Amino acid sequence: NAGVTQTPKFQVLKTGQSMTLQCAQDMNHEYMSWYRQDPGMGLRLIHYSVGAGITDQGEVPNGYNVSRSTTEDFPLRLLSAAPSQTSVYFCASSYRTGGDTQYFGPGTRLTVL
C-alpha cells in the first residue's frame, strides 16, 4: 500500500494563477479531507468528503474547491491563488468517520508570490 500520496511536493504560483493539488489513497477509505498548516496555528480543515460524490466545507474553505468523483482521489483546486494561501497542505483519509484514525499524506508546500 502506498497509503496517502500527494503531488506536487512543492509549488510556486503567481497571484491569480490556478492549480490543482492532487491527493490519492489506496486504502479504500471513505473519508478524505484537506488541511492547511500555518506557523503557530496547527492544522485547519479546508474541505472534507464522506464518500464519492459527497463533499462539505470545513473551517477555512474560501478560495478552494473540491470534488470527489472516485473513492481514491480527492483533488483540491485553487481558483485564483492569493499570497494568503501560502501554506503547507495535507490530505488525510480514514476508513470511517468519527474517531477513526486519519492517515496523512506527506504534504504540498505552496508559495504564492
Partner 1 sequence: GNSVTQMEGPVTLSEEAFLTINCTYTATGYPSLFWYVQYPGEGLQLLLKATKADDKGSNKGFEATYRKETTSFHLEKGSVQVSDSAVYFCALNLGETSGSRLTFGEGTQLTVNP
CB distance 8 to 88 below 8 Å: no
Q: Is 7 helix (H, G, I), strand (E, B) or coil?
A: strand
Which residue in 68, 78, 94, 112 binds partner 1 (CB under 8 A)? 94
Binding of partner 1 by 8 (CB under 8 A) = no
Which residue in 17, 50, 63, 77 binds partner 1 (CB under 8 A)? 50
Binding of partner 1 by 106 (CB under 8 A) = yes
Question: Among all chains, which residue has been given the C-alpha cell 500500500?
Answer: 1
Binding of partner 1 by 64 (CB under 8 A) = no
Please say which residue, 15 or 59, places its beta carbon nearer to partner 1: 59
Give the start-end residues of each E strand in 1-113.
Answer: 4-7, 10-13, 19-25, 31-37, 43-51, 54-57, 64-66, 76-78, 87-94, 103-104, 108-112
Residues that bind partner 1 in the complex, under the rule CB under 8 A: 4, 31, 33, 35, 40-45, 48, 50, 56, 58-59, 90, 92, 94, 97-107
